[in-house]
Amino acid sequence: MNLTLNIILWVILLAITVGVSLYRRWLENHCDHYIHLHNDSHDAAVVSSQSAVCRKLDLLEKLRIALIVAVVVYALAIAGIASYNAWNTSGMQ
């Protein structure tokens, strides 16, 4: 594969990673950190909505970590391929 195509794909993967991280931060900032419960019917709705948000935050955190690992591994692979190609072309001249 072409090195330019790999770099473009890496930049797209990096942009997706940044987007997921920003969405997770936005969701975390719009979460209610101080819930005061008073044992009424409204409390059940608040607890269920907050638990849904927490599950979504956990999923996004796992996805974010996996994407960061993928970005780093892909960058190292691109660097390795580029250095290997440079080493082979300099030896042939």
Render pLDDT for 6-27 as a digit per residue (tens, 0 to 9): 999 999 999 999 999 999 999 9
Name the one residue in this structure whose structure tokens are 């608040």: 46
| Residue closest to 77 by CA, chosen among 24, 31, 10, 17 | 10
Confidence at residue 34, expressed as pLDDT on a 0 to 100 scale: 67
Kindly report the backbone phi and psi dihedral angles of residue 17, in degrees, each rounded to the nearest multiple of 5, phi listed first: -65, -45
More confident residue, 18 or 90: 18
Render pLDDT for 38-78 as a digit per residue (tens, 0 to 9): 677 777 777 788 888 889 999 999 999 999 999 999 999 99
What angle, rounded to 10 degrees, do the helices at 41-92 and 3-29 form? Answer: 160
